[in-house]
């Protein structure tokens, strides 16, 4: 091999024939799952920030690369004055360092094309700047072995603006660029892996994962599932992105107003979330581009993923309130009973779609059942007008706003539809007829 007599393929075939192959080998990915690690190196963290891929993080995991061997083509001279020969050598992969990461980004760019574009999300310089900024802020903590004391210690956030990664003997060490205080050097630096993935969120290919339609019948449902249900009016219509955006807006506004109860997990425990927390909150919708600036900000943002299934939701593809200090609330859900009370038109339309005979008319469902259900919701909210004419006027104005595709109704027609329900409400409330 070193003399170029046979090719790597020939050597691998011979090794297989002798039962000792393969010569070049890579461990099974499941044996080296970086997402199961508690701690990452800064190099692994940068790989995550760049690609959001467990496979890429694995590629920059020192212990994984130590188990990898590959064929390397080299030219070499025999002795001082000997002939120059060329051939292949079987070598262990080099240890990963931050200095070599830009080469991976460049390789990604060179191998990308229209059919399969490069997969990194930002430049190496931007990724490094973001990582150092979060370490400087204290949003992300790191520990390292002090070269002088040989003890592992937490690296103060105040040091990070001056620390730089230097490659020494194939490994990263971190030292102040101005060599203070007193030539301080940190080796074997580690970061909390969970904190890294909380700040630089994973990407989910929403295009390949249709949201699951969840009916708000009992208990609580994920906030994104509620927004999808409202936007599609119980799954009876298609909802383009703008309609879904409006669904989120309506849900969030109702939570802020106190009409819908929201709960979430904070410090591992479920608890109600005050409505004012959502006020003026920037929302990252599932169909929005992945924008790290939304999370790496002092302002709390609502980060949403489409609800596909419970396993993904529990694994972090959920709805959360977070900023540069990480998630404040995770797995945000809203109360089903509140959703049905506030958005009765969607419940009505879903029921009519499933059982049109409930409307009392053949064929396409009419509007009377929608008016009656909204009237019930207004009664529950103590919003019923004093006189039936005023109530009919309010409902006639509400109908086209809630159901743009439903034919408008005259106030007199609405009054006829709600007359019996209106008088029954007055009677049960102990109020005189109007």
Report the 10 Å Cβ neighbour count for 6.
Answer: 14
Name the residue with higher pLDDT: 79 or 267.
267
For residue 252, count CB atoms less than 10 angstroms from its CB and return exposed for 0-12, middle for 13-18, buried for 19 or more.
Answer: buried
* Banded model confidence at residue 108, pLDDT cuts 50, 70, 90: confident
Residue spans of the domains in the chain: they are: 8-37+50-111, 124-199, 206-340, 357-428
> Mind listing the pLDDT tens digit for each residue in 14-47?
777 777 767 777 888 899 999 999 999 999 999 9
> Mind listing the pLDDT tens digit for each residue in 144-170?
999 999 999 999 999 999 999 999 988
> Which has the minimum average pLDDT: 97-106, 378-387, 420-429?
378-387
> Which has the minimum average pLDDT: 64-73, 240-249, 289-298?
64-73
Rounded (5°) CA angle 81-86-87: 135
Token pair in block for residue 379: 């009664």
Give the max Cα distance, the chain.
115
Report CA torsion sign: 156, 159, 160, 165: negative
Is pLDDT at 222 greater than 60 in this prediction? yes
Average pLDDT of span 245-252: 94
> Can you give the three-state secondary structure of 169-199, one letter per residue?
CCEEEEEECCCCCCCCCEEEEEEEHHHHHHH
Full-model pTM: 0.70
User: Quick one: pLDDT at residue 264?
Assistant: 93
Average pLDDT of span 234-253: 89
Percent of the chain with pLDDT strictly greater than 90: 49
CA distance 80 to 87: 18
Token pair in block for residue 283: 């929302």
User: Quick one: pLDDT at residue 205?
Assistant: 65
> Which has the minimum average pLDDT: 162-176, 236-250, 353-367, 399-413?
353-367
> Mind listing the pLDDT tens digit for each residue in 282-324?
999 998 888 899 999 999 999 999 998 888 888 889 999 999 9
Is pLDDT at 77 greater than 80 in this prediction? no
CA distance 224 to 222: 5
């Amino acid at each position: 091999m070193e003399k170029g007599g046979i090719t790597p393929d020939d050597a691998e075939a011979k090794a297989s024939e002798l039962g000792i192959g393969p010569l070049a080998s890579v461990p099974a990915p499941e044996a080296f799952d970086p997402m199961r690690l508690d701690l990452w190196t800064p190099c692994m963290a940068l790989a995550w920030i760049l690609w959001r891929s467990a496979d890429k993080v694995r590629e920059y995991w020192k212990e994984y690369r130590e188990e990898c061997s590959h064929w390397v083509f080299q030219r070499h001279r025999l002795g001082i004055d000997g002939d120059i020969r060329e051939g292949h050598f079987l070598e262990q992969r080099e240890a990963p360092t931050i200095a070599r990461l830009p080469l991976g980004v460049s390789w990604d760019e060179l191998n990308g094309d229209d059919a399969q574009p490069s997969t990194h999300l930002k430049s190496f310089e931007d990724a490094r700047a973001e990582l150092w900024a979060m370490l400087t802020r204290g949003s992300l903590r790191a520990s390292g072995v002090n070269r002088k004391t040989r003890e592992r210690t937490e690296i103060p956030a105040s040091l990070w603006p001056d620390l730089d990664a230097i490659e020494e003997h194939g490994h990263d060490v971190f030292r102040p660029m101005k060599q203070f205080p007193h030539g301080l050097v940190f080796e074997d630096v580690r970061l909390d892996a969970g904190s890294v993935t909380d700040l630089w969120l994973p990407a989910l290919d929403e295009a390949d994962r249709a949201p699951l339609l969840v009916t708000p019948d009992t208990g609580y449902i994920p906030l994104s599932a509620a927004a999808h249900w409202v936007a599609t009016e119980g799954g009876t219509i298609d909802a383009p992105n703008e309609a879904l955006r409006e669904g989120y807006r309506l849900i969030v506004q109702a939570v802020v107003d106190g009409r819908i109860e929201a709960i979430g997990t904070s410090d591992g425990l479920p608890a109600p979330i005050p409505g004012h927390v959502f006020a003026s909150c920037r929302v990252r919708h599932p169909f929005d581009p992945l924008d790290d600036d939304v999370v790496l900000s002092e302002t709390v943002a609502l980060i949403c993923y489409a609800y596909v299934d419970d396993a993904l939701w529990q694994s972090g593809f959920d709805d959360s309130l977070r900023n540069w200090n990480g998630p404040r609330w995770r797995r945000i859900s809203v109360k089903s009973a509140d959703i049905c009370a506030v958005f009765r038109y969607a419940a009505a339309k879903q029921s009519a779609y499933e059982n049109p005979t409930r409307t009392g008319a053949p064929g396409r469902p009419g509007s009377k059942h929608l008016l009656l259900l909204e009237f019930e919701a207004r009664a529950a909210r103590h919003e019923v007008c004093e006189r039936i004419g005023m109530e009919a006027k309010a409902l006639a104005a509400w109908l086209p706003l809630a159901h743009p595709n439903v034919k408008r109704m005259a106030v007199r027609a609405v009054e006829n539809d709600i007359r019996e329900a209106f008088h029954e409400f007055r009677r049960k409330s102990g109020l005189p007829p109007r």
